[in-house]
Amino acid sequence: MPKEREQNIWKPRYECMDPEELRQLQLERLQATLNRVFKNVSFYRRKFKEIGFVPEEDLTDIDDIKRLPFTSSEDVSNCYPYEMFAVPLREVVRIHSSSGTMTNPRVVGYTKQDLKTWSELVARILTAAGVTAEDVIQVTFGYGLLTGGLGIHYGAELLGASVLPTSTGRTERQIKIMKDFRTTVLVSTPSYALVIADRMEQIGIDAKTLSLKYVVCAGEPWTEEMRREIEERLFVVATDNYGVSEVIGPGVAGECLEQDGMHVQEDHFFAEVVDPLSGKPVDAGKVGELVLTTLTKEAFPVIRYRTGDLCRLIETKCSCGRTFRRISRILGRCDQVVVIKGINIVPERIGDILKKIGGETPPYQLVATRKGHEDQLEIHVAITESLFYDKMREQRTLVDVMRQKVANFIGITPKIKLVELRSLKRDEKGNIIPFIDERQK
Ligand code: ZN
């Protein structure tokens, strides 16, 4: 290969850093970020002044960040459109925005340097997911004001892959392109990957005849079962990745081929997991809300941004060699969370466990009760045809298995009650209410 061309190729690097070295880098970058927002963003200046925080004097350790107030999505909305930008508009070369229906959309901006960083981060994430310069990558995210499409696009180009910007929808056309253009990597939401698999079956296209190797998933919470289904039906390896528009877009964290949590790009983002109610850090490995601070963003830095996404931080070493910590898959949104005995529980995830046991999710309802001062979680499971057992003993075994599996997953032992379907409480639309709190009675 000619030398000049070789130099132009982006080199995938393993993100390996000594923990102390990383902390020092994070501290320096946070210092610069806090100085910038204190100087240029009236929202942050006001917030810092309220608590008497002067970045130059009061930030001596990365943990000092915990003294700072959170930034919420409403804050970003209230700063519509450009109040949270930390550079003059003439330095902003790209603007994205959330769709926003009820409130003002959340508008974010990028400098030239921000776009370079963004591409680098996405290229890293794609590399971790197995993508190389040899691949043909089909991007089915929207190419519009949302960050998904263009974010992935430039990262894939930097990596040197051949990018097919097919954008969203028109599934049959997507499949034809995938087949004719010999797509090797599909970028999509997990549910859209399954829509594609369904349509391929309907129109009689055998997934084995495609060149597809990887599906890079993002954009919505999904489960391990969905991953297996995508992998088995499309004959691929499917990985998870995570992005937030207010933070940068895609490129915040991504899974490597070990498929065991998403590496956070900690040289560019500082990640915390906090209790969604108290805002205090959760114990190591416990579920909480992901809070992110940008360390290198120029146009739109965010400090302790509450993502509203629930996950766990994984601190153990990953066999891939990358040293950055990982986050678990997103387990749900904070507004779905139920707190019992100090444990954050997402009712939907209980359904996943029940599905694993019975093969399908039975109708169920979580009920929190209180005896004296002690809270108790009851799970009311409707007896359906597939869960119906004549003999009392078998029913008892089933209940035992359910109790055990749920206890293993959430860390508290629930009481499982098998009930008639009609006894589950419903809302006015007739849907089963996922959680009923009887503790206040
Ligand atoms: Zn890894």
Whether the pLDDT of residue 102 is over 60: the answer is: no
| 317 Cα to the center of ligand 1, angstroms | 8
| 69 Cα to the center of ligand 1, angstroms | 32
- Return the H-helix or E-strand segment holding 342: none
Among the three residues 289, 310, 335, which one is the final residue of a domain in this structure?
A: 335
Tell me the whole-structure pTM to 2 decimals: 0.84
| 136 Cα to the center of ligand 1, angstroms | 23
| 113 Cα to the center of ligand 1, angstroms | 27
Structure tokens at 121: 């981060």
List the one residue out of 71, 371, 432, 428 whose CA is nearest residue 244: 71
Return the CATH number at 432.
3.30.300.30
On whether both 324 and 283 belong to a single domain, the answer is: yes
The Cα–Cα gap between 248 and 362 comes to 39
Residue 143: give the domain boundaries.
3-22+78-335
On whether both 316 and 247 belong to a single domain, the answer is: yes
258: DSSP letter: T
Q: Which residues contact 78 (CB under 8 A, 6 or more apart)?
A: 104
**DSSP per-residue codes, 269-313:** EEEEEE-TTT-PBPPTT--EEEEEEESS-SSS--SSEEEEEEE-E
pLDDT recorded at residue 198: 95
On whether both 225 and 302 belong to a single domain, the answer is: yes
Bridge-based pairing of strands 136-139 and 332-333 is: unpaired
On whether both 16 and 132 belong to a single domain, the answer is: yes
List the one residue out of 19, 251, 296, 29 whose CA is nearest residue 151: 251
Torsional class of 392: left (φ above 0), alpha (ψ -120 to 50), beta (otherwise):
alpha
Residue the block writes with tokens 């940068």: 248
Whether the pLDDT of residue 6 is over 70: the answer is: no
On whether both 368 and 274 belong to a single domain, the answer is: no
Is 219 a domain residue? Answer: yes
Residue the block writes with tokens 């102390």: 20
Opening angle at CA 112, ends 31 and 163, nearest 5: 120
Query: CA dihedral in degrees (84, 88, 93, 96; nearest 10)?
Result: 20
| 316 Cα to the center of ligand 1, angstroms | 10
pLDDT recorded at residue 349: 86
Is 28 a domain residue? Answer: no
426: DSSP letter: B
Rg (CA), the chain: 24
Percent of the chain's residues with pLDDT above 70: 95
CA distances from 72 to 30, 54, 77, 364 (A): 19, 21, 9, 33
The Cα–Cα gap between 414 and 405 comes to 10
Q: What is the pLDDT of residues 289-347, one digit of tens each?
A: 999 999 999 999 999 999 999 999 999 999 999 999 999 999 888 877 788 887 778 88
pLDDT recorded at residue 7: 58
Among the three residues 295, 319, 335, which one is the final residue of a domain in this structure?
A: 335
Amino acid identity for residue 383 in this structure? I
Residues with CB under 5 A from ligand 1 (ion): 256, 258, 318, 320, 322
Q: Decide if 240 contacts 221 (C-beta within 8 A).
A: no
The Cα–Cα gap between 245 and 99 comes to 11
| 6 Cα to the center of ligand 1, angstroms | 27
List the one residue out of 208, 136, 143 whose CA is nearest residue 169: 143
On whether both 359 and 310 belong to a single domain, the answer is: no
On whether both 313 and 265 belong to a single domain, the answer is: yes
The Cα–Cα gap between 440 and 123 comes to 51
On whether both 328 and 376 belong to a single domain, the answer is: no
Return the CATH number at 275.
3.40.50.12780
Percentages helix, strand, coil for the chain (3-state, rounded to 5) are 35, 25, 40
On whether both 259 and 371 belong to a single domain, the answer is: no
**Torsions phi, psi for 262 (to 5 deg):** -105, 125
| 361 Cα to the center of ligand 1, angstroms | 32
Tell me the average pLDDT across 396-402: 88
Tell me the average pLDDT across 414-419: 93
Among the three residues 283, 306, 335, which one is the final residue of a domain in this structure?
A: 335
Is 193 a domain residue? Answer: yes
Q: What is the pLDDT of residues 165-221, one digit of tens each?
A: 999 989 999 999 999 999 999 999 999 999 999 999 999 999 999 999 999 999 888
- By residue count, the chain amounts to 441
The Cα–Cα gap between 82 and 427 comes to 40
